[in-house]
Amino acid sequence: MGTATTDIVREDARGNARPRVVIIGGGFGGIEAAKTLRTVAVDVTVIDRHNHHCFQPLLYQVATAALSPADVAWPIRHMLARQRNTTVLMGEVRSIDTQLRVVQTAELTVPYDYLVLATGATHSYLGHDEWEAVAPGLKGIDDATRTRRRILIAFERAELADDEIERQRLLTFVIVGGGPTGVEMAGAIAEVARQTLPPDFRRIDPRTARILLIEAGPRLLPALSEPLSAYAQRTLTRMGVEVLTSSAVTECHAQGVEVRGNLIAAGTIIWAAGVVASPAASWIGAARDKAGRAVVNPDLSVPGLPDVFIVGDAAAVNWRTHQLVPGLASAAKQMGRYVGEVIATRIRGSSHSRPFRYRHQGDLATIGRRAAVVNLKHLHLTGALGWLFWSVVHIYFLIGARSRFAVAFSWAWQYVTFQRGARLITGTEPSQHR
Amino acid sequence: MGTATTDIVREDARGNARPRVVIIGGGFGGIEAAKTLRTVAVDVTVIDRHNHHCFQPLLYQVATAALSPADVAWPIRHMLARQRNTTVLMGEVRSIDTQLRVVQTAELTVPYDYLVLATGATHSYLGHDEWEAVAPGLKGIDDATRTRRRILIAFERAELADDEIERQRLLTFVIVGGGPTGVEMAGAIAEVARQTLPPDFRRIDPRTARILLIEAGPRLLPALSEPLSAYAQRTLTRMGVEVLTSSAVTECHAQGVEVRGNLIAAGTIIWAAGVVASPAASWIGAARDKAGRAVVNPDLSVPGLPDVFIVGDAAAVNWRTHQLVPGLASAAKQMGRYVGEVIATRIRGSSHSRPFRYRHQGDLATIGRRAAVVNLKHLHLTGALGWLFWSVVHIYFLIGARSRFAVAFSWAWQYVTFQRGARLITGTEPSQHR
C-alpha cells in the first residue's frame, strides 16, 4: 500500500467543492463534532487508529470480567453510517502540515479546510514511563483485556504456587490512584475476590486476597465533596479494600510497589493515577500546559490557527477560577458539539461565535454492589439509590439498543448470581510477565 | 515460581489416599470424563493450558463478529466448581513419566493413578507449517479474534487503498477446506460483505468482495450425503461464494494462494483444511497414525499402559469399516463419558468393561441465513427448517442459561437488523502482516 496524495474527500463529493472538515479521533468529542455537522454542507472525514469508539466509563467492567469488549465498543463507521456526508478512515496520524492544510497518515494525505483534534489523553506515569509495563492503565479495549488477563492469571498462579510468601504476593492487587477509575477498579476486584471466585478454587481462598487502593492526595474522589469521599472510603473499607491516602507511589516494578519507602509485594498493579494529553498539540506546534494539553482560544481554536480546533481531554479550557474543564465524557461531548456549531456558523458566512462555556453535569462513581456516589447540582445520592441512578445513566449513554439490552441483562444476571460472564484469559503477555 | 513435587491431590484429600485421576485437556472429552467421575471416590485434577472451555462449533461466529468470545467460552474451574472432588489447574504439560506416573507442568509435578489425555487436535498444514502465519486456522478463542481482526482490517485497508488491483486483492477472501468450518466461514463472510458492511463504507462497495471456498476433494461436506453437499454448494453459490472443488492449494503466502498453478491474489486466507492430533501420543510414546492420533485399545486405554486413556480427537478409534470415529464434539463427549465409567468400574474392583462403541448422532452445518444442512439418522433437513433446527441444537449445547440467552438474543438481533454485535478490531499483529 503506497502513500498517495489523493484528495479523497473531493472524490467522494463528485467534484462538489464543499468545505472539508477532518476530525481526528473517534471518541466522545470527535463523534459529537461529526454528528453536529450531519446536516451541514461539508464533507466530514473522521480518522481514528481503532475501528471502534470505546465507552471508557465502563471499561473497568471489561477489565474485571463483568462485560465483554463488544458491550462497550462500537464500530465508528457504523455509528456514522447513515450520515452520508461523512467518511470514516482507520489510520494512524503521522503528522499535520498546517501550511498545506493536510493530515498525513501512513497510507493517505488528507486535506482539510477545518481540522478538529479530538485525540484524548493517555496514562501519565509522572516521568516513569518504565512503570507502564508492570502497571498498565485503562484507556482502550486492549488495555482492558490485558488487565483482565493479569487479574485472572494472578489467581490461577496463586492456585499453583507452593510458596506461601509467593502466594500472598500473587493475591495482592494494588490500584494506584483514587479517582473514579481507581475506586471502581478496587471495588470490582474486591467483588471478584470475595463473591465471584471463592467456590471455584481448591488450594487458595480468593477471599484472602489483599486489595490496596493507593492515593497520593489526602482523599479519594477529590472532584467530589468531602462527605462523598468519606462515604466511598468507608464503603471500600467495609468491602475489604485497604485504602491508603496521602501515600505517593515512589516505585513500581515486577515484585510490587514502594510507598513511603516500604515495599508492598504485589502480583498485579493497575495504574489509575494520572493522564497526559495525547500529542495532538505537538503535531501542530501549539503551546501546552504541563499535562500536555493544548492552550486554546475561547472558541477552542488554536492561537494563530483559526481553522484548527481542539476538543476533549487534549484541550486545556478554563472553567472556574484556577480550574480547567475536567476530563469527562460529557465535557468532551460539549466541546465537540460546540466546535461543530462554530464550523457550521462560519460556513454560513458568520464569523462571530459565543465562547465555549462548560456546563458541569455532575460526578458519578460506582463502588460496588448497591453502592455508588452521585453528585449532581440538585441531587446527592449514595448507597443503593446512587447505584441505581448510576446504572440507569450508564445504560442510557450506551450506543444502540443492542448494547443497552446486553449490558442491562449482564448486570441483572450478575446481581442475582454474583457471577461475571466474561472470565476469559485471552491473548498473551510478553514472556517476562508470565 | 519454582518447580515442586508436591502431591497436590493427596494434600487436598487431607490424607485420604483416594485414587488420583488426572485429566489433561478441558475440551468436550476432558470435561465429560471429569463430570462422569463426579460421584466416584476419586480425586480428579483437570489440567488445561487455558482457563476456559471453548465451544468450538460456534467459534466461526466469533471470527465473523456475530458473537463475543465470552458467549462461547466459560472458565473450566467454574464449570466444575460444584464438583468437590475435582481440582482445576491452568498449566502447560511439559512431559509425562509413565513409569513414575507423574505429569510434569511448568510449575508442578502431578502424580496420577489414572490418566486421561483429552488434548484434542490442532490445524494441519500438510507439511507446510510456514503457511500458518498467513493462513490461520480456527481452534481457540485467540484464533477467532485474530481471524476477526484480519477480516475486518481487510475491509478497512481496502477503503484506504488507492490502487485498484490492491483493493481487489484486499477484498478477496480465500477459505481453504470445504468441511463444516469452511462452509460456515464462507457463508458468514459472504453475509458480512453483502449484508452487514455495505452502508458503512464510502470508497469501496463491500458487496464486490470475492469469497472463494477451495476444497481439494470432489465435493463440499464429504461426511454428508451427496444431495446435501450439492445443496450446500448451490446455496453458497447463490450467496456469491465461488466454490472450487477438486482444487488443491499448492502454496499460501502473503499475496494469496496458488491453486492448480494459478495465483489467486487474496488479502485474507483462512485455513479449514485439516487437523492433526495434539502431541499427546508422543508424550507417552504411543503408536500414532498418520494424522498423529494415538492407536488405542477397544477400551480407549493405551496398549501397554492400562491406566492411561486417550479420548476425543487425539485418539484413533475404529468405527465403521475403513473409518475412524469422526472429530466431533459428540464423539469426544461419548469417549470422555465412557472412560469415566471404565475408571469408576475399575475402582469398584471390576476389571471387565464393554468396549467403546461410537453412536453417530448426525452431521450439521449451517450455511447462512435460513440455510443449513441437517443429516440425522431419521431426519434430513435443509433450508429454513434445517437452519432453525441447527440453531436450537447449538443453543441447547451451550453451557449455562446465561450464554444460551445471550446467544439467542444476538442471533435474533442479527436476524432482524443484519448487524453483527462484535465488529471489533482488537489486539495487534506481528508487523509483517499489517
From start to end of B266-353, where are the E strands? 268-271, 275-277, 294-295, 301-302, 305-310, 315-316
Q: What percent of chain A has pLDDT over 70?
A: 95
Q: What is the pLDDT of residue B402?
A: 92
Cβ contact B232:B373 at 8 Å:
yes
CB-CB under 8 Å, A157 with B200: no
- The least confident of A18-27, A410-419, A421-430 is A421-430
Measured at the alpha carbon of residue B413, what is the angle toward residues B410 and B416, in degrees to the nearest 5?
145
Q: What is the pLDDT of residue A410?
A: 93
What cell does B51 get? Answer: 482457563
Q: Select from A194, A203, A179 the least CA-distant residue to A366.
A: A179
Residue B2, pLDDT above cutoff 60: no
Architecture of the domain whose range is B129-273+362-426? 3-Layer(bba) Sandwich (3.50)
Residues of A in contact with B153 (CB under 8 A): 90
Q: B15 φ, ψ to 5°? A: 80, -5
Q: What CA dihedral angle connects A139, A145, A150 and A156, to 10 degrees?
A: 160
Cα distances (angstroms) measured from residue B334 to each of A373, B54, B82, B327: 53, 17, 22, 12
Domains A8-123+275-347 and A126-273 share a fold: yes
Q: How confident is the model at residue B15 (pLDDT cuts 50, 70, 90)?
A: low
Is the sign of the CA dihedral B396, A403, B150, B235 positive or negative? positive
**pLDDT tens-place string over residues B411-422:** 999 999 999 989
Residue among A142, A202, A423 whose CB faces B78 most closely:
A423
Q: Select from A191, A226, A215 the least CA-distant residue to A387.
A: A191
Q: What is the pLDDT of residue A126?
A: 86
Average pLDDT over residues A259-279: 93
Q: Select from B25, B49, B24, B35 the least CA-distant residue to B85.
A: B35
Q: What is the pLDDT of residue B214?
A: 98
**pLDDT tens-place string over residues A155-175:** 999 999 999 999 999 999 999
Residues of A in contact with B255 (CB under 8 A): none
Average pLDDT over residues B307-312: 97
Q: Select from B208, B101, B117 the least CA-distant residue to B164.
A: B208
Q: What is the CATH number of domain A126-273?
A: 3.50.50.100
Within its chain, how far is the Cα of B127 from the centroid?
20
Residues of A in contact with B69 (CB under 8 A): 68, 422, 424, 426
Q: How confident is the model at residue A16 (pLDDT cuts 50, 70, 90)?
A: low
- Determine the residue of chain A that is closest to B422 in CA distance: A70
Q: Select from B421, B419, B393 the least CA-distant residue to B406.
A: B421
Architecture of the domain whose range is A8-123+275-347? 3-Layer(bba) Sandwich (3.50)
Cα distances (angstroms) measured from residue B382 to each of A250, B145, B178, B225, B229: 66, 30, 18, 12, 11
Q: Select from A369, A334, A373 the least CA-distant residue to A355.
A: A334
Cα distances (angstroms) measured from residue A76 to each of A52, A98, B200: 5, 26, 9
Residue A414, pLDDT above cutoff 70: yes
Rounded distance, CA B290 to CA B277, Å? 10
Instruction: Output the average pLDDT for chain A.
Output: 92
**Owner of C-alpha cell 451451550:** B398
**pLDDT tens-place string over residues A42-85:** 999 999 999 999 999 999 999 999 999 999 999 999 999 999 99
**pLDDT tens-place string over residues B366-391:** 999 999 999 998 899 999 999 999 99
Cα distances (angstroms) measured from residue B274 to each of B169, B177, B243, B277, B366: 25, 7, 18, 10, 19
Within its chain, how far is the Cα of A363 from the centroid?
15
Is residue A92 flagged as an active site residue?
Answer: no
Q: Which of residues 274-303 of B touch A (CB under 8 A)?
A: none
How many residues does the structure list for chain B?
Answer: 434
* Angle formed by the axes of helices A180-191 and A226-238, nearest 10°: 20
Architecture of the domain whose range is B8-49+91-123+275-347? 3-Layer(bba) Sandwich (3.50)
What cell does A28 get? Answer: 466522545
Cβ contact B298:B355 at 8 Å:
yes
Least Cα separation, residue A37 to chain B (angstroms): 17
Within 10 A of B29 (CB to CB), how many other CB atoms are there? Answer: 33
Cβ contact A269:A176 at 8 Å:
yes
Q: What is the pLDDT of residue A15?
A: 53
Residue B50 contacts A where some CB pair is shorter than 8 Å: yes
pTM summary value: 0.93
Cα distances (angstroms) measured from residue B162 to each of A46, A50, A94, B157: 18, 20, 18, 10
CB-CB under 8 Å, A426 with B69: yes
Rounded distance, CA B243 to CA B249, Å? 13
Is the sign of the CA dihedral A48, A54, A55, A57 positive or negative? negative
**pLDDT tens-place string over residues B48-94:** 999 999 999 999 999 999 999 999 999 999 999 999 999 999 999 99
Of the candidates B32, B184, B191, B215, the residue annotated as catalytic is: B184
User: Could you give the strand order of the β-sheet that contains B268-271, starting from the edge strand earlier in sequence?
Assistant: B241-244, B210-214, B172-176, B268-271
What cell does B1 get? Answer: 515460581
Residues 6+ apart with CB under 8 A from B312: B25, B27, B28, B29, B30, B118, B119, B120, B327, B331, B332, B335, B336
Chain A contact probe: residue of B202, B204, B434 with most A CBs at under 10 A: B202
Q: What is the pLDDT of residue A17?
A: 82
Least Cα separation, residue A142 to chain B (angstroms): 6
Q: What is the pLDDT of residue B428?
A: 82
Rounded distance, CA B87 to CA B244, Å? 48
Residues 6+ apart with CB under 8 A from A85: A18, A37, A38, A40, A41, A42, A43, A44
- Determine the residue of chain B that is closest to A86 in CA distance: B202
What cell does A31 get? Answer: 463523534
Residue B83 contacts A where some CB pair is shorter than 8 Å: no
Residue B1, pLDDT above cutoff 60: no
Give the three-class secondary structure for A259. Answer: strand
Rounded distance, CA B24 to CA B44, Å? 11
Residue A177, pLDDT above cutoff 90: yes
Cα distances (angstroms) measured from residue A57 to each of A63, A140, A141, A317: 12, 11, 12, 21
Q: Select from A258, A257, A260, A304 the least CA-distant residue to A281.
A: A304
Q: What is the pLDDT of residue B430?
A: 57
Helical H runs in A164-253? 164-170, 180-191, 226-238
Structural domain spans, chain A: 8-123+275-347, 126-273
Least Cα separation, residue B207 to chain A (angstroms): 16
CB pairs under 8 A between A and B: 158
Q: How confident is the model at residue B274 (pLDDT cuts 50, 70, 90)?
A: confident
Cβ contact A423:A417 at 8 Å:
no
Least Cα separation, residue B119 to chain A (angstroms): 19
HEC string of A306-325 equals EEEEECHHHEECECCCCCEC
Rounded distance, CA A393 to CA A58, Å? 12
Instruction: Output the average pLDDT for chain B.
Output: 92
Of the candidates A92, A107, A166, A184, the residue annotated as catalytic is: A184
Q: Which of residues 146-205 of B touch A (CB under 8 A)?
A: 152-153, 156-157, 159-163, 166, 199-203
Residues of B in contact with A107 (CB under 8 A): 157, 160-161
Rounded distance, CA B350 to CA B341, Å? 11
Rounded distance, CA A154 to CA A162, Å? 14
Q: Which of residues 244-263 of A touch B (CB under 8 A)?
A: none
Rounded distance, CA A307 to CA A342, Å? 10
Strand B43-48, strand B52-54: pairing: unpaired
Residues of A in contact with B83 (CB under 8 A): none
